[in-house]
Amino acid sequence: MGLAGARAFAGSGAAVVLVDRDEDAVREAAEEIGVACDVTDERQVEAAVRRAVTEFGRLDMAFGNAGIQVPPSDAADESADSFDRVNGVNLRGVWAATKHELRQIREQGSGAIVNCSSLGGLVGLPERAAHHASKHGVIGLTRALRPVTGVGAGASGSCTTPVWRASPPDEPSGKQGDLTLLG
């Protein structure tokens, strides 16, 4: 979804900076500028924002879309490492990016931040406690910032992603179409 969004912006004439912790993925995906960045490392996030501003002169729009999943597991059996890994990327990574993007936007006087959560931020499915906790957190973070910053959150419906398409139809993630909130 992040790459599709970046392609849409670039296709509309926007200067796009892609940020990913996987350097190979950035290289493969980017005809635009690609920046390898582990969003769990706040220094790397700050450097990525700085690089975007250095390259393009300002930051007009940021799309926070960091996210990973781990294999499904019962909450009673999930390891702290697994829970921390998911929340480190999905929630803390979005927080770190939003923090540094917001500083830049305030300095330049305008700009927008849109953070992407998932259906997991609106509902709870079995064996996805860490993922859902992180995505609920992204929504809470974004809503907390919106009144004073204009940071946006929206849910216009579902879209298919590589993770979704790879989910067997008999697993909870493969049945998400039944849970899509429309309207």
Q: Please, what are the domains in the chain? A: 2-177 (3.40.50.720)
DSSP line for 16-45: -EEEES-HHHHHHH-SSEEEE--TTSHHHH
Residue 68 C-alpha from the chain's centroid? 9
Token digits of residue 1: 């979804």
pLDDT tens-digit profile, the chain (183 residues): 567 777 777 766 677 777 777 778 777 766 555 677 899 999 999 999 999 899 889 998 888 888 999 999 999 999 999 999 999 999 999 999 999 999 999 999 888 888 889 888 888 889 999 999 999 999 999 888 877 665 554 443 444 455 545 655 555 444 545 544 433
Adjacent-strand bridge partners of 33: 17
Can you give the pTM of this predicted structure?
Answer: 0.72
Q: Phi and psi at residue 120, in whole multiples of 5°?
A: -60, -15
> How many CB atoms neighbour CB 53 within 10 A?
16
Beta strand 112-115 pairing with 33-36: unpaired
State residue 163's pLDDT score. 54
- The SS3 assignment for 40 reads coil
Q: What is the pLDDT of residue 133?
A: 96
Query: Which of 127, 121, 76 is CA-nearest to residue 94?
Result: 121
**40 with 92: CB under 8 angstroms?**
yes
- The neighbouring-strand residues paired with 35 are 19
